[in-house]
Each structure stands twice: as structure tokens, then as C-alpha cells.
């Protein structure tokens, strides 16, 4: 795909410990930097404390996403994960990107992970829930497969690869496993679950590797913001630069 075709799939993200109002102002300006071409990212993703300011500055047709669940470690208690999600939604978030407790998953406590996803999805209602499995920390295909199944069975709207804070982000191998489980469970559930690629996707070439993999395994119809997202800021900057250079 060309740079101009990838912009609508992107969740433009700032998730730094130093984020404040200036970071929000910058990222919202980035989000509308291609307004003249009627090109916008799917969403802008920030911490819950910054959601209200982002929503105030963004046009309504760009979604506001917020990370919750004790991002990025996922080690907060379930009631805190639910409360944090409620706060983000009350502040104006349209979408939630939550992290699972990977330690409990690795220990084999699949019921705990299912329950936390289901509880957060219940809080979200009809608003999108993307569940981050942090595939780079799940060191076997079986664990990645299990995490994906739990996400889908618990009601996730998207399965997301990474927080972007781990030493290993998205990989083609992990995305293959996730896509295969999505395909299998789509047939059983009759409902399509989306996929979000995040962690280390920095160039047009990187993005196209994952776009091709998703298209091959889930079909070209999956290449829609309703089912496919890329979480990236460096990529967005590069794409914008390429587009502006060619206009």
C-alpha cells in the first residue's frame, strides 16, 4: 500500500511518562496535519488523564482512545482496571486499549485473564475494546494462541500485539498466530474480531509486511479501520512527510 492509503488505519499515539498539555497539543495538531487532503488517523491514543483535553481539541470524526488496565505492566487489580476504564470513558474516550495480566496467563490462570477482559468489556459497552496481549513477552506460539482465544471469547473487539514498551513488539510470526486464531474463531462465533499491530512499526516497509500478512490470512476485506489498526507515531510522521513531498 502507498503511504496515503495507510493513514486511516493508524492509531496516533503518545504514551510517555512526560506527557502533558503540550504533548496533547502537539499530537492533535499532527492528527489534523493532512486535513487539506481529507486524511485522518483512525484514533489518537493517550493516557486517561489526557483524554478530556484530546477530545476537546479533536474533531468528532477522529476517535479518542485511552490505555487502561495498569498500562503497560497490567499488574493492577481487576477492580482498578475497571475503574480506570470507567474514568477514561467518562472523560470522553471512544475506545479502550487495555493490557492483560501476562504473569497470570503464563502461570496458566486463564480464567483470571478471561474475567478481567470480560469485566472491562462490560464497562465499555458498545465502545471498542482492544486487548493488548504483549506477544513479545509470550515466548511460545501456544501462549500467543491461548491469549488470542481468551481475548475473543471474553468479548474483545480487537486483539493488539504490544504496548510498545516491551523490548520485543510486533513480529510477523506472532501476527500469523493471532490471525490464524481470529480466523478460526470468526467461523465459530460468526463475528469478526479486529487486529491491531503495535510495537516497532516505524516505516512504510514495516507496515506493508503486516498489511500483506493480514490480507493473506484474513482476507482483503479486513483492511478497514473497523478491523485493522496500526499503533504508531514514528510511522505516521514518515507517512505524512512522504505524502506532503508528493503533493
Active site residues per annotation: 97, 160, 196
Q: Alpha-carbon distance 26 to 28, whole Å?
A: 6
CA angle 18, 74, 111 (to 5 degrees): 165
Q: Alpha-carbon distance 117 to 121, whole Å?
A: 6
User: Residue 214: CB partners within 8 Å, gap ≥ 6?
Assistant: 175, 179, 195, 197, 222, 223, 228
Strands (E), 63-105: 63-68, 95-99
Return the SS3 of 132.
strand
β-bridge mates for residue 165, sequence order: none
Return the SS3 of 229.
strand
Q: Alpha-carbon distance 125 to 241, whole Å?
A: 37
Q: Alpha-carbon distance 10 to 124, whole Å?
A: 21
Neighbours of 108 (CB within 10 A): 11
Q: Which helix (H) or strand (E) holds 44?
A: strand 43-46
* Contact assessment for residue 163 and residue 134, using Cβ atoms and an 8 Å cutoff: yes
Select from 58, 60, 48, 123 the least CA-distant residue to 93: 48
Amino acid at each position: 500500500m502507498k503511504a496515503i492509503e495507510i493513514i486511516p488505519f493508524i492509531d496516533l499515539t503518545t504514551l510517555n511518562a512526560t506527557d502533558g498539555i503540550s504533548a496533547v497539543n502537539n499530537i492533535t495538531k499532527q492528527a489534523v496535519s493532512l486535513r487539506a487532503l481529507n486524511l485522518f488517523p483512525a484514533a489518537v491514543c493517550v493516557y486517561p488523564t489526557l483524554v478530556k483535553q484530546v477530545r476537546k481539541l479533536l474533531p468528532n470524526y477522529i476517535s479518542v482512545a485511552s490505555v487502561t488496565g495498569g498500562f503497560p505492566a497490567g499488574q493492577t487489580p481487576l477492580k482498578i482496571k475497571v475503574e480506570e476504564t470507567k474514568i477514561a470513558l467518562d472523560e470522553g474516550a471512544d475506545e479502550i486499549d487495555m493490557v492483560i495480566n501476562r504473569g497470570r496467563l503464563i502461570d496458566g490462570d486463564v480464567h483470571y485473564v478471561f474475567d478481567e477482559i470480560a469485566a472491562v468489556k462490560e464497562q465499555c459497552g458498545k465502545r471498542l475494546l482492544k486487548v493488548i496481549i504483549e506477544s513479545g513477552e509470550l515466548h511460545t506460539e501456544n501462549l500467543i494462541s491461548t491469549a488470542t482465544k481468551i481475548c475473543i471469547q471474553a468479548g474483545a473487539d480487537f486483539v493488539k500485539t504490544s504496548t510498545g514498551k516491551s523490548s520485543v513488539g510486533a513480529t510477523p510470526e506472532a501476527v500469523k498466530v493471532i490471525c490464524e486464531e481470529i480466523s478460526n474463531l470468526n467461523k465459530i462465533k460468526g463475528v469478526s474480531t479486529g487486529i491491531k499491530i503495535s510495537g516497532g512499526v516505524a516505516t512504510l516497509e514495516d507496515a506493508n509486511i503486516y498489511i500483506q500478512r493480514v490480507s493473506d490470512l484474513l482476507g482483503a476485506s479486513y483492511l478497514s479501520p473497523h478491523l485493522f489498526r496500526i499503533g504508531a507515531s514514528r510511522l505516521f510522521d514518515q507517512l505524512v512527510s512522504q505524502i506532503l513531498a508528493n503533493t
